[in-house]
Structure 1
Amino acid sequence: MRLLIIYICIAVWALADAKVSYHGFQMYDVVPKTNLQLRILQEIYKEAKQDEIDFWVPPRGINIPVQISLPPKSELVGTFRLVGMDTRLVIDDVQHYIDQQNKVDLKFSPQGKAAPFNYGEYHNLSAINDWITNITTVYASMTKVIEVGKSFEGRSIRLIQIDTGKVKQKNGFFMEGGIHAREWISPATVIYMTGQMLDRYGIDAKITDIVDSYTWYILPVFNVDGYAYTWTTDRNWRKTRSKHGACYGVDPNRNWDYEWCKEGASKEPCSDTYCGPSAFSEVEVKAVADFISMHKDTIKAFIDFHSYSQLWMTPWGYTKKLPADYEDQNAGAKAACDALQVDYGTKYEHGSIANIIYEASGSSADWTYGAEKIKYSYGVELRDKGKYGFLLPAEEIIPSGKETLEALKALCTYVFHH
């Protein structure tokens, strides 16, 4: 009997750690056309639990599409259509697109000087950490690795500092990727831009100028536990991996200590927008915030890269009211968006977070601007507009990196002169 109990425990443990399959899951566009339909979607959103009903784009208003991933043969599709909502199938098998993300398009596979590293594919956390070590070794004269802290599960949160010694003023620029675990294009884009900033320094005049103009603080993967979990267990995981009752994780972009846990955040631990038991409850968020606070007198700009929707957003997130610096902030965003579309014609919208996507309190951009007075603070939603959502094919990494780097150049110039 004792042996049987041991076998059962092992089986349960193995099942708990088994990789989540999304075979048969489908993603739909659902458009509410009346206030009643919108309220129905909002109620489903409030009750949605992890892994089953998954809102990729939450309900925001009448005639604004919601994107929702549903399990096989979900009755909700019939319900949406019964009450008159426009319902369109976008992804017929979520797992198929997950599998496709790890296929490499060799024509978009430039190798950097640091070590063999394919910027045109997605990489797990171990490979990214190897790349950080390699690239800072090759460019040791102008880079260093800083561990800003440890994650809940004990992983190192590693930041790259770039400083050529030619910074014209006390200027710092902080950018981060991967605060939401499943948004793989975010770390991939940040990594590509960092690689270009180092490999093209001294070759490309504009890159040389922006690298010389700032001390750069670049955090490729913020939410290291969550990101690792998307590779080992659940590709669609969003939050951190701390434990809260029967559920895991906090939304690390609702956990910052500025207008914490108000509009656009949930107090329900199982929600994907759970704000946590308190502001800065997540060790990852607190570690990054402490680092930024230590350098707030020099950091002139901050970008938190996300996906998806193609938006370059300014504070505020917690309210639709606009801050005093909005005109300058939005002018910087416009300069970035104008430059971004040159290479591939990709169009981004710009404006405040609450007004062009949804209200979201306790966000990084609100905290850096509101609490730390970093005027040019942004949240950026990268490719695409919803065709692939979080499952953007690897062949789009390089184009995303190229166009976003052009946007970054334009923003750097704007911020430097303002």
Structure 2
Amino acid sequence: MFLSNSVSSIYRVFISNLQKEIEKQTGYRSSRKRRSESQYDYEVYHSLEEIQSWMFEMNRTHTDLVDMFSIGKSYEGKPLYVLQIGKRSRHQKKAVWIDCGVHAREWIGPAFCQWFVKEAINSYHYDSVMRRLLNQLNFYVMPVFNVDGYDFSWTTDRFWRKTRSKNHKFHCRGVDANRNWKVKWCEEGASSHPCDDTYCGPFPESEPEVKAVAKFLRKYKKRVKAYISIHAYAQMLLYPYSYKYATIPNFHCVESAAHNAVTALYSAYGVRYRYGPASTTLYVSSGSSIDWAYRNGIPYAFAFELRDTGHFGFLLPESLINPTCTETTRAVKAIASGLLKKCETDRDKFPYI
């Protein structure tokens, strides 16, 4: 009896029928008949095929604000599409990079990227803040970074995390795309075993998805002033360093931007986010994209961990897409708005890492 009581006091069942929750998001596709893009439902999760079709349609119908292009191909040969959002301009504008779906099972990520693009375009003519942002900045939005893994999470394994690259020595597939960047690669917080979820890969940028994004950001690093990667879950806003306990040189500016972002997010529904260096706020990890972006001259590098804090976890219900994306859009707008104001302690050049 003592054992029974102790177990019941430690463990709680959050989801009594896991399969049923999965089917709510992946099944019943027949009820979602193909509709025109004007009726595209942003409050349900979409497959890779649907997202890419949506990207083509946004590019076709909003030529004044949208430009679609591919930065390469995935391991399985799928195109890696990016949307450039912003008013066309003759001069080179500062830019913000946003990627979603680095980890396949975090479906709220791609849902947010679509939501943000929709909000940016639809509110351009009546939201003075968004209009100013799109006039003065370009947003590079990559709705699905890990296209192979995301597709696999729809067809085969809802909780798949990694890419889908093959390993010659092990049957286990895939690499953690957020441990594969060339910054303190495969050190603390990453695994060298191919079967682990945090496998760093055989070498830095071994994954064509990571290599393609890194190549693009290197090419435009003088223009890109903020890097934002959308993950889930934990309700946190993280910035460098991930791989060590140390303070970044422009800490005050980045800390201020993070504070403004979580304050803006809180103003929507009263949801609280923790913020701070990734190493102390979440955990130590090496080979992360925010550390790489920061090292390569992007002064504002953030990783969002969206809702929730563990009740639903990766199975965030579709009913929470709207509030989650609405509040996160406020946070991203706050970060972007900060780029238009020079932080007093910023320097044009500073020792990154």
TM-score by length of 2: 0.89
Q: Specify which of 119, 125, 142 is matched with residue 219 of structure 1.
A: 142
CA distance in 1, matches of 2:14, 2:247: 34
Residue pairs, 1:113-152, within 5 angstroms: 114-152=37-75
Could you say which residue in structure 2 is the equivalent of 1:153?
76
CA distance in 2, matches of 1:190, 1:323: 28
1:253 counterpart residue number: 178
CA distance in 2, matches of 1:389, 1:262: 27
The separation in 2 between residues aligned to 1:133 and 1:406, in whole angstroms, is 26
**Distance in 2 between residues matched to 1:301 and 1:248, nearest whole Å:** 32
Q: In 2 relative to 1, CA 80–227 (structure 1 residues): closer, same or farther, beyond 3 Å?
A: farther
What does residue 327 of structure 2 align with? 403
Name the CA shift for 1:397/1:123 in 2 (closer, same or farther; >3 Å).
same
Check if 1:323 corresponds to 2:251. Answer: no
1:210 is matched by which residue type in structure 2? L
- Choose between structure 1 and 2 for higher RCO, CA contacts under 8 A separated by at least 6 residues: 2
Are 1:382 and 2:306 matched, yes or no?
yes
Does the residue aligned with 2:14 lie in a helix, a strand or coil?
strand
Secondary structure of the equivalent of 1:317?
coil
Does 1:99 find its partner at 2:14?
no
Match of 1:240 in 2: 163
Partner of 1:297: 222
Match for residue 232 of structure 2 among 307, 332, 340? 307
Give how far 1:81 is off.
9.2
| Cα drift, residue 350 of structure 1 | 0.6
Residue identity in the other structure for 2:314: F
Which is higher, the Rg of structure 1 or of structure 2? 1
Task: Name the aligned partner's letter for residue 236 of structure 1.
Answer: F
- Once superposed, which parts of structure 1, at least 4 consecutive aligned residues long, lie more than 6 Å away? 78-85
Residue 43 of structure 1 corresponds to which residue in structure 2? Answer: none
Aligned length: 334
State yes or no: 1:366 paired with 2:291.
yes
CA–CA distance in 1 between the matches of 2:5 and 2:214?
45
Shift of 1:178: 0.2
Distance, in Å, in 2 between the alignment partners of 1:167 and 1:89 is 57
Q: Which runs of 5+ in 2 are unaligned?
A: 343-353
CA deviation string 1:134-157 (max 9, x = no partner): 011111122211101100001011
Q: Distance in 2 between matches of 1:408 and 1:229?
A: 29
Q: TM-score, with normalisation over the residues of structure 1?
A: 0.76
**Equivalent position of 1:174 in the other structure:** 97
Distance 2:202 2:229 in 1: 23
Percent identical: 38
Task: Structure 1: state its 5+ residue gaps.
Answer: 1-77
Counterparts of 1:315 and 1:239, CA distance in 2: 22
